[in-house]
Amino acid sequence: MWCTFSGVPLPPPFRESQQITLALDDAVHQGKVRYIACSGMAAWQVAKALGVSALHGLAGFAAVHVPYSPLRRTVERDLVPMAMAERLALVAHPGRFTAVGATARVATRHGVTSTQVELAWLLGRDAVTATIVDIAGLGDLAAALAAPRLVLTPADHAELDAVGALDDAADAADAGIAADPAPLAETA
């Protein structure tokens, strides 16, 4: 018996991390697991784990599982660029859908559900490899299966993108740093 995809749900303490890394490497090399994924980890933790795996010749993560939707886009700050740079699959999980604001307006214009709008938005993101969808009944299943056929217009994308757009200047001000620091001057 083998598993196509095995995931590490949270960043474990260091000692457990080493044990988990070795156990997953063994499972990959024994053919029991094809790909290793992680979730709940910061980009720096994923990058560090990839470096350690590469340094020691161990199987590394092939995918990152993240919460991601038009309203939940903080992963765009570090996890999405890291996944793209490291060529990791990005598996998005939008969670349970609620028809609010822009999502509801776009759904109404197209005569579809909010589920379809959010999934179509996710599937249109360059970094997203796949989605994981909560299915509570046949209606959710039908909506999820129909989502790839929904073509969002540029205006739809602009409206949805504006909802959860990251505000670097406001975030930087909250942290007490400059949003766009001046480049360091070269020293002679």
pLDDT of residue 179: 44
Residues in the chain with pLDDT values less than 50: 1-5, 170-188
pTM over 0.85: no
Query: Quick one: pLDDT at residue 91?
Result: 93
Structure tokens at 90: 């990005």
Q: In what order do the strands lie in the sheet with 61-67?
A: 3-8, 33-39, 61-67, 89-93, 128-131
CB neighbourhood size of 87 (10 A): 7
Decide if 5 contacts 27 (C-beta within 8 A): no
- According to the model, what pLDDT value does residue 24 have? 86
What is the pLDDT, as a whole number, of residue 121?
92
d(CA 107, CA 149): 14
**CA–CA separation, 75 vs 39, rounded Å?**
12
pLDDT score at 15: 54
Residue-level pLDDT at 170: 46
Q: What is the pLDDT of residue 57?
A: 93
Q: What is the largest CA-CA distance in the chain?
A: 68
